Structures are given as C-alpha cells and as structure tokens.
Amino acid sequence: MPAPAKGPLVGIRVVEFVGLGPAPFAAMQFADMGADVIRIARPGAVPTLPDPISGRGRPTVEADLKNTEDAEMVRKLVDGADALIEGFRPGVMERLGLGPEPLLERNPRLVYGRMTGWGQTGPLANHAGHDINFIAITGALAAIGPVDRPLPPLNLVGDFGGGAMFLVSGMLAALLSAQRTGAGQVVDAAICDGTIQLMSMAHDLAASGGWRAQRDANLLDGGAPYYGAYACADGVHIAVGPIEPQFFELFRQTVGLDVSAHALRADPRNWPALKEKIATLISTRPSSEWLALLEHSDACVSPVLDLHQAVLHPHLVARESFVELDGLTQPAPAPRFSDTPTEARARPHDLLPLTEAVEMWNN
C-alpha cells in the first residue's frame, strides 16, 4: 500500500480502470491530492504499462472483467467508492455490465468519469484516434508550428490539457454536487471539447480582429518578434517574451536594439524585419552571457531547457518542483495547498488482491 495520504481529498475513494494517457494522469492528480485510488487492471497488464510515474500513489488489483465473479467483486468495490475513472471507447463498460446506469443504481452518489478523445456521442465517437486527431478538428493543431506545416505540441494540448485536466475539474465539481445533493452523475470529458475551451483566447483575438489564419504570424504563435526563441552564439536557444512595452524597452536596451524597434513592433507588417534584427544580435553572444544579463530582470528572458536540465534549474530546485520516488526523479504534485499540503506517494510494487481491496473499502 502507498504511504498514508495527505491533501485536500483525503477520504475520497476513486476506482480507476487502467488505461493509457489522460485517464491515468487524471487518477494521479486525485492520488496526489490525497484521494484513495485503486487501479483495476486486466490480468498480466501491469508489467507492460509505460507509467512508472503516472501510476504512482495507488495500488493495483487485477480483474478479468469478462469473468462473472471478478466483475461482481469490482462492482462491490465501486459500491464503496465516491468516483470512478474509465477511458475506454463508448459502450465498452456497458458491455461489461459496468456502465453508469447499473453502478449508479447501486451507488447513487457515484461520480462516473469518462475520458475519451471524441466524447460519448457524435459521428466519430466509436472511431480510433490519438491526440493529434482530436486537436486537429478543434483549430488548435492548425495554429501551432512553422508556416509550412502544423506541428504536434507533444500531447500536452489534447491528452493532458484538454483531456485529463478537464476530467479532473469536472469530477471535482460533480463530487461537490454529490456532497450537497447525494446524487452522483456521469462526467463526459472529451479531449476535443476541452481543447476548444483551451482555444478561448484565440477565439477572443479572432473576434476582435487580432488573429490571422496563418501560423507564425500572431502574437503567441512565434509571429511576434518579442515572443519566441532565439539561438545564441553557442547554438543554445533562449526564450524571449517581453510583450508589454516597458518590458520590451528593458530588453531593447540590454541587447542593443535601436529605439526604432518600438515602432517596428507596433505594426505586424514590420515583425519579420524586427525578428531578423533581434536574431542577429542574440547570435553574437553565448547563452550564458545573455542569461546573466536578462534572466533575473523584467525583460522576460529564460533558458530553453530539456527535461534533464529542467530538474537542475535553481528556481525549480528551490521550489522542490521535482521529487524522487522509487529512484525516479519526477514532477511534484501541483497545485500547492496551504492548509492541506499534498505529497507524492510511491507506487506499490505488489499487486493488491481483489478480495482484500473489496474488504478494505467496504468494512
């Protein structure tokens, strides 16, 4: 079993049906915030799961959901739960007799969280897809990347931003409602829906005439010369983001731009010329020199670090933004709570017997 839970969700019980990507990431958020989460995995699946970090903080039981006895034991486990997380295609849980209707009938306060790419309804609901497909139809993929092609933003925008985090926020809202009313409900979290929400600012800009339907041409997509990454003399990139005029003025003075840069930045037609000027200046010194001049100022300049370098950045070290569990350096829980601090818990290495899990939760 993991270490004793800490955090604002202590006492909340969640049953997670093991999947990949956003569903286990959402379950990790619940576990990090103190909820008791038990993972249900099909027999033999655990050794092959690529989740040494996102599987932390919760025990796993194996259950053959097509086996009548195992399925009934899982139902008894859900009887003692506040919430459930599943990430299968629509209809899979229903065919196993574990859909929302029978489980809510047995446990009326249950919050039933469903994580999919396309959602539970619609023409694409039963089709396969991945992050790149889900964000492609939302306008997000078309807005990211160089001029000549869209660029997948890892799976941060879809799986985790538009998917898992909307599932978590939706389930937390439903849990609050269940506490008030005693009635649970289904939370249908679709990655395409959440990604559209994430695009709200782009829609704001479009509605006000401040968005061009072209990549690398807008304020936050690399088009603005004062919001992008530049290569230094040593080949290392720095991130430059002095959007506000006063921050840009500090940046301008430090790097040696002529005062006419303010006029150039005001007109998007002049952005390519200003971008070239900045790139030329930044390329004259190594990153260490630029960062010594700019990182600890309001010029909004930062090093562009890889995963291994990020662990060593002094700011993240000071905030203990990474923790070490099971010999692995990994992200610490976020956000932070003043009165109910969270703590990442190690992943149990031994499977928990299904009968023991049911007895533990229902007695």
Asked if the model's pLDDT at residue 5 lies above 90, the reply is no
Q: Is the pLDDT of residue 302 over 80?
A: yes
- The answer to whether the bond into 335 is cis (omega within 30° of 0) is yes
Mean pLDDT, residues 343-353 taken together: 90
The string of pLDDT tens digits covering residues 246-293 is 999 999 999 999 999 999 999 999 999 999 999 999 999 999 999 999
Average pLDDT over residues 96-115: 98
pLDDT-based confidence at residue 3 (cuts at 50, 70, 90): low
Query: Which amino acids are annotated catalytic?
Result: 130, 159
DSSP string, 110-143: -EEEEEESS-SSSTTTTS---HHHHHHTTTTGGG
pLDDT band, residue 4 (cuts 50/70/90): confident
DSSP secondary-structure letter at 212? Answer: -
Binned at pLDDT 50, 70 and 90, residue 356 comes out as: very high
Residues making up the chain, counted from first to last: 363
Domains annotated for the chain, with CATH where assigned, are 13-198+322-362 (3.40.50.10540), 228-310 (3.30.1540.10)
pTM of the model: 0.95
Q: What is the pLDDT of residue 2?
A: 56
147's tokens: 């001029």
Percent of the chain with pLDDT strictly greater than 90? 92
pLDDT band for 363, please (50, 70, 90 cuts).
Answer: confident
Mean pLDDT (whole number) for 108-112: 98
